[in-house]
Chain A
């Protein structure tokens, strides 16, 4: 007994234990699991093709949002998570942010690219299975139309779900409408969590008419309420882990 618990042996055991704990800590556990209520987010900051682009530059052909604006996106989503589901946890740290470049944006002229091209050139190569992937972009258009943001439905069988948020500068503007873009982000997040098309009582586009007390109004969502009926649905999906599945 005395030999087993000698100081040397004890320290040896402790060292091994500590070593094991450090090794386990280095491998981020997969958190996308049913029943956890946890939604981990990975933010991709999509810059233009030129070497000189950095986060927050007004001259970027890609995303122009500053780090302060991105932090505000993060803070607001996390602070308002309970409005989506009482049991939801969002994890999103600076370590979960990565800068990438989109070669399909022209370096001069109209600052624009198409979603199909963005997915082909950028999104399919920059994706993390363990996370909800959010792409902060400049002006990714859908069939040549502007969108504030877009949520890809998981029923696209060849793609994982993701959200795109444009910076609001469109082809030529400044791109710092961040207070409203944070509202857009929450609107898209609601689409992502709800994940339905043509499900009554909403119209086929998942949006509800303006002036409805619902986060899914299509014009700038002044009303940021997630109604209780939808909160219940979101809570169920998050708990069952079905919110990211068809």
Chain B
């Protein structure tokens, strides 16, 4: 290598961090100052957000200088305002090692939170862990799940988070945790393992969205055990398992679930009606052509049409036939029940995603009027 080339190499290598920080160096310094403050004015908050946005735009994932700085800001500022705000950017830029460290840091906070217990205790008015856990579950976790060498500590954290008092968090955060387990690009066997763990932990809850799609006929024996004696008491009967068995079309589950519903009615629906409603998804799969009959008809059954379409695809029913059923439903039956129009809108969205409908199918089916809602 010539001396000039060597000089250039050294200059670029050494100069790169300086060049990278030449402009944002002052920004980072400022961010550190703001991160140390317990109180912050609105203009300062705006300034901090702008610095974080800029870092997000101009730096690359794996940049050790960025990671190290943001880590320091998050850890030292986790009980203040800027630390939690910086966490999503840290996750965005993290390399696998940093991602593992982030998981350990947040897992410690979740454990602390579990130790604190119920939020209604009078002697506790502040929960320092919450501001750090929230942005992690909201945004950070999904940014690092794909780069973690071992995803189990993250999923363990999510399961433990689900056992925290939910009322301390924004209402949709537990759903985000569940969806990450259900739909992230992680090995199916691991996702199924944790989904089973969760539904066993909360037996009185129905299966979270998309959990049922993780399981197959090979899981029926395991799931049946969760709805049969000795698991047939109100405290132990696993509704998540019952839901998944219904999704799988397991006729063998009907007697157990029916017996439970008749012995322990839920809701105000008459027990026989509830038992019939439980069996609905199972009977639609025997034979599977009943799925198309349901799609094309005018019955409303708890927003089941999108499920029926996806299940029909699982059974390799021709997409053209499914499309035909949807179009017939839209033409002839959508006004048979007041909820069908909204269901059709959701069905259309999902059907286009899955290639069942074309984007220009059902042009009159549109989103409901937009309302600005502030949760």
Contact = CB atoms under 8 A, between A and B. Distances in A.
Interface of A: 48, 50-53, 57, 59-61, 103-104, 106-111, 114-117, 119-121, 142, 144-153, 155-156, 158-159, 166, 168, 170-173, 177, 179-180, 188, 191, 197, 200-203, 205-206, 209-213, 218-220, 222
Interface in B238-288: 239, 243, 265-269, 273-274, 277-278
B235 to A, nearest CB: 13
Interface of B: 39-43, 45-46, 49, 79-81, 84-85, 119-120, 125-127, 130-131, 134, 167-172, 174-175, 202, 204-206, 209, 239, 243, 265-269, 273-274, 277-278, 301-303, 338-339, 342, 368-375
A107 B273 contact: yes
29 contacts: A53-B268, A59-B268, A103-B338, A107-B273, A108-B278, A109-B302, A114-B342, A116-B368, A116-B371, A119-B371, A147-B171, A147-B373, A152-B373, A152-B374, A153-B371, A153-B372, A153-B373, A171-B205, A172-B205, A180-B120, A191-B374, A197-B372, A203-B49, A206-B374, A210-B84, A210-B134, A213-B39, A218-B375, A220-B168
B302 A219 contact: no
A21 to B, nearest CB: 43
Name the prevailing secondary structure of the B interface residues: loop
A222 B125 contact: yes
Given A146-B171, A212-B81, A202 B42 contact: yes
A158 B371 CA distance: 9
B267 A61 contact: yes
A118 B41 CA distance: 39
A48 B268 contact: yes
Contacts of B41: 201
A115 B368 CA distance: 10
A120 B343 CA distance: 13
B301 A201 contact: no
Contacts of A145: 171-172, 175
A180 B278 CA distance: 33
A211 B81 contact: yes
Interface centre among A148, A149, A205 (most CB of B within 10 A): A148
B342 A168 contact: no
Nearest to A194: B374
A203 B127 CA distance: 23
Given A50-B267, A106-B301, A210-B84, A219 B371 contact: no
A144 B39 CA distance: 35
Contacts of A109: 206, 243, 277-278, 302
B278 A150 contact: no
Among all A-B residue pairs, the 8 with the closest Cβ atoms: A201-B42, A106-B302, A52-B268, A50-B268, A116-B368, A146-B171, A153-B372, A210-B131
A31 to B, nearest CB: 25
Given A121-B338, A191-B374, 20 more contacts: A59-B266, A60-B267, A109-B278, A109-B302, A120-B368, A145-B175, A146-B174, A148-B171, A150-B374, A153-B371, A159-B371, A171-B205, A188-B374, A200-B42, A200-B46, A201-B45, A203-B49, A210-B131, A219-B131, A222-B126
